[in-house]
Structure 1
Amino acid sequence: MDSIIFDLDGTLWDSVDSIKVSWNNVIQANNQIREELTREDLEGVMGLQMDDIAKKLFPALEDEVRSKILNECFEVENTYIEKHGGIPYKNVENVLKELSKKYKLFIVSNCQEGYIEAFYKYHGLEKYFNDFENPGRTGLSKGENIQLIIKRNQLSNPVYVGDTDGDLKAARFAGIPFVYAKYGFGEVSEYDEVIEEFEDLLTLY
């Protein structure tokens, strides 16, 4: 193994409360949405592609309106997270520091452009990662973005660490082993390795 590619939400941190505050700020200013989002609502869409998130959270809206509101939510979210951050899982920085001594580290997340950068900026973790990718920047699926990272960085034996069935499918699509972060938001049907908490990666690798 020469590298580890990470999902972000539910794998490296929990940003749901920050997302909830920022998205509800947008919803409060829009009279087409009556109910504010709950933490449970957002946990239920973690790991989905952006269009699927919009359809699930705002099913009654026309596509054009839904897309406009989603883009507003993403813009406010990036600004909020850059200032307030999220909650990294236990010992994330220490584990990343140790892993980065042995492996190249990457992030591939189903997020908008600017989200990973906001994560880096608030928590100061960019120094441990070699590269990142997301559909907001490429328009590609998570599996395709994993393949892009592999090709761009000439990786020969990477693994993908994530917490949802979508992460499993993306790793299978890219043809690399999947490590299930069981402490995250989702449940998966199969995996190659499993970690109960983030620091288990140190004993796994």
Structure 2
Amino acid sequence: MDSIIFDLDGTLWDSRETVLEAWNEKIEQHEKLNQPLTAEDFKQTMGLQMKEIGEILFPSLSAEEREVFLQECCDSECDYLKKSGGSVYENVEEVLNALSKKYKLFIVSNCQAGYIESFYDYHKLDPLFLDFENPGRTGLSKGENIKLIMERNHLESPVYVGDTEGDRKASESAGIPFVYARYGFGEVEKYDYVIDEFRDLLRLF
């Protein structure tokens, strides 16, 4: 193994509280929406791309209205995250520091452009990662973005760490082992490795 590629939400941090604040502010201002979102609403969309998230959370809007509104929410979300951050899981910085001495580290997340940068800006963990990718920049699926990171950085034997069935499928699509972060948001039955807390990565690798 030469590298570790990480999912972000449910794997490195939980940003739902900050994101909820940003999105609910936009919902309150929208003439067709009046029901604020909850943390549980967001939990059911973790790992999905933005178009799918919009269809689940805002079914009353047309496709065109959803696209415009989601962009407004995402812009607001990134601003909020840069100021307030999210809740990074216990021991993440310590473990990433240790892992970075042995492996190349990367992030691939199903998020909009600017989201991973907001994570970097607030929590100052960007020096530990060599590269990142997301569909907001490429328009590609998570599996394709994993392959892109592998090709761009000449990786020969990476693993992917994530917390949802979508993460497992993306790993399978990219042809690399999947490490299931069981403490995260999703339920996964098939995996190559499993961790119950982030620190377990030091035991595995």
TM range (shorter): over 0.9
* 1:44-55 equivalent positions in 2, closer than 5 A: 44-55=44-55
What is the rounded CA distance, in whole Å, between the counterparts of 2:195 and 2:135 in structure 1? 26
Aligned twin of 1:77: 77
**Is the partner of 1:172 in helix, strand or coil?**
helix
2: CA distance between counterparts of 1:150 and 1:82? 28
Q: In structure 2, what is the equivalent of residue 43 of structure 1?
A: 43
Distance 2:84 2:43 in 1: 19
Corresponding residue pairs, total:
205
The two structures have a TM-score, normalised by structure 1, of 0.99
Distance 1:17 1:153 in 2: 34
1:107-126 matched pairs, under 5 angstroms:
107-126=107-126
TM-fit CA distance, 1:31: 1.4
- SS of the residue 1:179 aligns to: strand
Give 5+ residue unaligned stretches, structure 2: none
Question: C-alpha deviations, 1:155-183, integer Å up to 9, x for none?
Answer: 00000000000000000000000000000
Hey, what does 1:130 align to over in structure 2? 130
Aligned to 1:183: 183
CA distance in 2, matches of 1:58, 1:164: 22
- In the TM superposition, residue 49 of structure 1 has moved relative to its aligned partner by 1.0
Provide TM-score, normalisation by structure 2.
0.99
2:194 aligned residue = 194
Aligned to 2:163: 163
Structure 1 stretches lacking a partner, 5+ long: none
SS at match of 1:194: strand
Percent of aligned positions with the same letter in both sequences? Answer: 62
Structure 1 CA distance for aligned equivalents of residues 19 and 144 of structure 2: 26
Distance (Å, rounded) in 2 between the aligned partners of 1:50 and 1:204? 32
Q: CA deviation at 1:189?
A: 2.2
Whole-angstrom CA distance in 2 between matches of 1:31 and 1:43: 25
Which whole-Å CA distance do the structure 2 matches of 1:165 and 1:19 have between them? 22
Whole-angstrom CA distance in 2 between matches of 1:106 and 1:58: 32
Partner of 2:88: 88
User: Which letter maps to 2:172?
Assistant: R
Residue number in structure 2 paired with 1:26: 26
Aligned to 2:5: 5
* 3-state SS of paired residue (1:22): helix
CA distance in 2, matches of 1:40, 1:167: 19
Alignment-mate amino acid for residue 67 of structure 2:
S
Code of the residue aligned with 2:202 in structure 1: it is L
Deviating runs (4+, > 4 A) in structure 1? none
Give 3-state SS (helix, strand or coil) of 2:105's partner. Answer: strand
Offset at residue 107 of structure 1 (A) = 0.1
Tell me by how many angstroms 1:81 deviates.
0.1
CA deviation digits over 1:55-79, x for unaligned, max 9?
A: 0000111000011110000000000
